């Protein structure tokens, strides 16, 4: 398996479209979401920093100084203050970044959703049908003839894929999300890609899945937009 720092670099390729200067040009997804002004991925082996293509070159040195001043404890307030001097901050997102271990061997009863059965998504996850091909592979738990929990690829690159899992409210707490994630990760690994799983610190249900699956935390993500 790659080292933590390398895994974080792979994640940046999954999350964003990056130019030859390693600047973020846009989100690597069919979405209206705006790419972050600054991305910071912290690992025990070092920091991966990606600036938006609009980030002023002359101000990057100050960001590097703040970020690298203390490897064990980022001065978040100082970092935010420096970014806010350049643009109004509208959103800050933080959370752990995980990868499925190489010895992962769990199995699942989730079924693969293909063009032949994608109508199973219609009632609970109609938006997924719209971007069906880009979200492959898609796995779901079926109850009463409909998909009640789904895991698919939020974003992909040539080296990895990021999981996206969602369960209908009335079916939460049954372990369906965990089962769909397992099936998705197994297929991603068969494709020789790294199955990545990141979430926000306040998304407790998502972190519960990571804990159940004993995923390896290689770092922490910070997005400032």
Strands, DSSP E only, in 21-145? 24-27, 38-43, 46-51, 92-99, 111-112, 139-143
Query: Are both 208 and 119 inside the same structural domain?
Result: yes
Query: Using 50, 70 and 90 to split pLDDT, how confident is the model at 29?
Result: confident
Q: What percent of the chain has pLDDT over 90?
A: 90
Give pLDDT, residue 24.
Answer: 96
Query: Are both 89 and 130 inside the same structural domain?
Result: no
Q: pLDDT digits over 67-123, tens only?
A: 987 766 778 899 999 999 999 999 999 999 999 999 999 999 999 999 999 999 999
Query: Are both 119 and 75 inside the same structural domain?
Result: no
Q: Which of 52, 41, 60, 68 is nearest to 19 (CA)?
A: 52
- Of 149 and 131, which is predicted with more confidence? 149
When divided into structural domains, the chain yields a total of 2
Query: Are both 133 and 184 inside the same structural domain?
Result: yes
Query: Are both 68 and 135 inside the same structural domain?
Result: no
With tokens 């705006």, the residue in question is 34
pLDDT of 50 above 70: yes
C-alpha to C-alpha distance for 164 and 206, rounded to whole angstroms:
10
Hey, what are 176's tokens? Answer: 């369906």
Query: Are both 116 and 178 inside the same structural domain?
Result: yes
Q: Which of 194, 165, 158, 147 is nearest to 2 (CA)?
A: 194
Which domain, by its residues, includes 23? 4-98
Q: pLDDT digits over 152-180, tens only?
A: 999 999 999 999 999 999 999 999 999 99
Hey, what are 89's tokens? Answer: 């901050």
Query: Are both 60 and 94 inside the same structural domain?
Result: yes
Query: Are both 89 and 120 inside the same structural domain?
Result: no
Query: Are both 92 and 125 inside the same structural domain?
Result: no
Hey, what are 215's tokens? Answer: 């995923």
Q: What is the CATH number of the domain that holds 127?
A: 3.40.630.30
Query: Are both 202 and 165 inside the same structural domain?
Result: yes
> DSSP 3-state helix, strand, coil percentages of the chain (rounded to 5)?
30, 30, 40
Strand 38-43: give its sheet, edge to edge: 46-51, 38-43, 216-224, 92-99, 194-198, 160-167, 146-156, 139-143, 111-112
- State pTM to two decimals: 0.92
Q: Give a yes or no: residue 159 inside a domain.
A: yes
């Amino acid at each position: 398996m790659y080292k933590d720092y390398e895994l974080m670099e792979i994640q940046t390729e999954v999350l964003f479209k990056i130019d030859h200067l390693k600047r973020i040009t846009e989100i690597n997804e069919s979405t209206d979401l705006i790419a972050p002004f600054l991305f910071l991925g912290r690992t025990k082996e070092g920091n991966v920093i990606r600036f938006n293509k609009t980030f002023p070159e002359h101000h990057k040195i100050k960001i590097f100084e703040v970020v690298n001043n203390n490897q064990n404890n980022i001065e978040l307030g100082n970092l935010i203050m420096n970014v806010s001097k350049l643009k109004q901050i509208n959103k800050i997102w933080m959370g752990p970044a995980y990868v499925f271990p190489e010895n992962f061997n769990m199995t699942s009863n989730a079924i693969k959703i293909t063009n032949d059965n994608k109508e199973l998504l219609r009632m609970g996850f109609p938006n997924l049908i719209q971007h069906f091909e880009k979200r492959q592979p898609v796995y779901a738990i079926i109850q009463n003839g409909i998909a009640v929990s789904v895991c698919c690829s939020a974003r992909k690159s040539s080296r990895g894929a990021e999981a996206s899992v969602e369960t209908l409210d009335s079916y939460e707490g049954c372990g369906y999300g965990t089962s769909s994630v397992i099936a998705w990760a197994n297929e991603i690994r068969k494709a020789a890609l790294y199955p990545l799983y990141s979430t926000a610190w306040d998304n407790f249900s998502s972190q519960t899945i990571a804990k159940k699956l004993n995923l390896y935390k290689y770092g922490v993500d910070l997005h400032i937009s």
